[in-house]
Structure formats: structure tokens, C-alpha cells
Amino acid sequence: MHLKSILNHVHPLKSFVYKRARLVKAAGRPAKIEVEIEPRANGRPICSGCGEKRPGYDRLTVRRFQFVPLWGIPVFLVYAMRRVKCPPCGVTVEQVPWATGKCRLTTSFRWFLAGWAKRLWWQATADAFQTTWEDVFRSVKHAVEWGLAHRDLAGIEAIGVDEVQWRNGHTYLTLVYQIDTVKRLLWVAEERTEKSLRGFFESLAGDVKAGIQFVASDMWRPYLNVIAEQIPSALHVLDQGIVRPMALLQPCR
């Protein structure tokens, strides 16, 4: 079975076709697999601004989108994006089904990384799949945001707010966990400012927010301010020890 056939089976693309697949070696060893993609003949590109089919305008230089590895070898989909001429939007880059926006990772690979990041530390995930800590972080963030938009969040009673350091302590992340009968990561944001945490509360429906009865965090002033402002009637437990063991999606510290 050709690699193309396997890809058509596991990752079919409606308006595009897989073309040549090649193994790129470095120092005599397999370094990566590159699979070229081309649009189907007569398939018109979709404007990324409005989602409508529009006439093509020109093509950009080739881009590589990292895909799920095969046999431990990194895989890249190689494609020259078309630009489209769209009357309402102007000249825009087309929308493709395997990635969003300017992301270098395919959506499949982001879900793959987010899945492994539940089982391994984020740095270990990055090392195992030959990507970076930042890419794992962004993949988890994408999965968490998708979860917030699609999951039923009713019934959250207790949350824990945690901060983690990375890049040798120069940068922080803010994480929010549900820590009642369900244990899960609800929010990931860069830095540990009031804005980092306020974004979480602003993403919740009013009744979900009103249902939070307990919150655990450390004494970090910006967190205390936002918790007092957003859920003033919740019981606030100032104990990081409650949150940390819940950190199922523990990034590398």
C-alpha cells in the first residue's frame, strides 16, 4: 500500500490530492517524510475571509505543515497556498482543511500533541515527537479552547488556579483546573497577569460562573484581585497544595 493510500484513508482531503511522498535523509538516516499536496483539477480555492469559493489569483511559495509522525519520522505536508481574488475581501490566502490561519502544524498534529500532553510532561511530548515546547503549549491551548466552546461546563463547583514557570523562569503561564468530581484543565493563558485569569471568567456563561463555590490559588495579587472581582461569593482557599496534585496536564517546570 502506498503512503498516499494510507493518507487518503486516515486523513482524506476533499478538494485536494496527495501527490509525491519522499523520504528526506540527513547523515544517512531518515530525517523526515514530505508529502506534496495539490488542489484537485477544477477545484476553486476558498476565501479565508468569507468562506466562499473564489477565482484563484496567484500562488505563494511552498509551505510545510507538520503532520502526525509515521514510524517515529516527522511528516510534513508540502503545499503552495493559492491566493484568491474575492470581491468583498480583496486578495486573501485560501482556506485549507488541514490547518488554520498561519499555523505551521496541521490540526491533526495539534490534537495528537494535546493528547500526548495529558500523559507526558510537555517537554517530554515535544522531545518525543520532534517539536517544541511552544508547539505543545499551543496545541494544548487549542484543545482547551475547543473544549470550552464545545463541552458542557455546567456544574463546575471548584476550580484551582496555578501558575507555571518556563523558559528558565522568565515566562509564566496561568492554568485553571476544575478540581471537584471532574478533574480537567479548563484554561491556559500566557503570563500571570489579571488579564490572563480574567479571560477565563469572561469565557464562561453567567450561570456557570455563578455556580463556582470554591477556588484555590496561591497569594499572587493579580489572581486575588480577579477572583474577588469575578466570583466574590466563592470560598477562596489560599493553598497551592490543593491545586498542584490536580495538575494532570503538568507542563515541564
Query: Using CB under 5 A as the criterion, which residues of the chain lie in contact with Zn ion when the complex forms?
Result: 47, 49-50, 86, 89
Pick between residue 33 and residue 47 the one whose CB is nearest to Zn ion.
47
Pick between residue 89 and residue 252 the one whose CB is nearest to Zn ion.
89
In whole angstroms, what is the distance from residue 42 CA to residue 57 CA? 14
Q: CB 43 → Zn ion: shortest distance, Å?
A: 17
**Long-range contacts (CB closer than 8 Å, 24 or more residues apart) made by 126-131:** 129/69, 129/74, 130/69, 130/74, 131/66, 131/105
In whole angstroms, what is the distance from residue 189 CA to residue 62 CA? 32
Q: CB 51 → Zn ion: shortest distance, Å?
A: 7
Q: CB 82 → Zn ion: shortest distance, Å?
A: 13
Residue with cell 495579587: 221
Q: Where are the beta strands (DSSP E) in 13-133?
A: 16-26, 29-39, 56-70, 73-86, 90-93
Name the burial class of residue 245, with classes exposed (0-12), middle (13-18) and buried (19+) by CB atoms within 10 angstroms of its CB. Answer: exposed
Q: CB 49 → Zn ion: shortest distance, Å?
A: 4
Q: Which of 119, 126, 184 shows the shortest CA–CA distance to 153?
A: 184
In whole angstroms, what is the distance from residue 85 CA to residue 91 CA? 5
In whole angstroms, what is the distance from residue 209 CA to residue 148 CA? 13
Pick between residue 56 and residue 222 the one whose CB is nearest to Zn ion.
56
Pick between residue 53 and residue 253 the one whose CB is nearest to Zn ion.
53
Q: CB 38 → Zn ion: shortest distance, Å?
A: 22
Q: What is the sign of the dihedral through the CA atoms of 112, 149, 176 and 172?
A: positive
Pick between residue 89 and residue 148 the one whose CB is nearest to Zn ion.
89
In whole angstroms, what is the distance from residue 169 CA to residue 165 CA? 5
Pick between residue 21 and residue 86 the one whose CB is nearest to Zn ion.
86
Q: CB 86 → Zn ion: shortest distance, Å?
A: 3
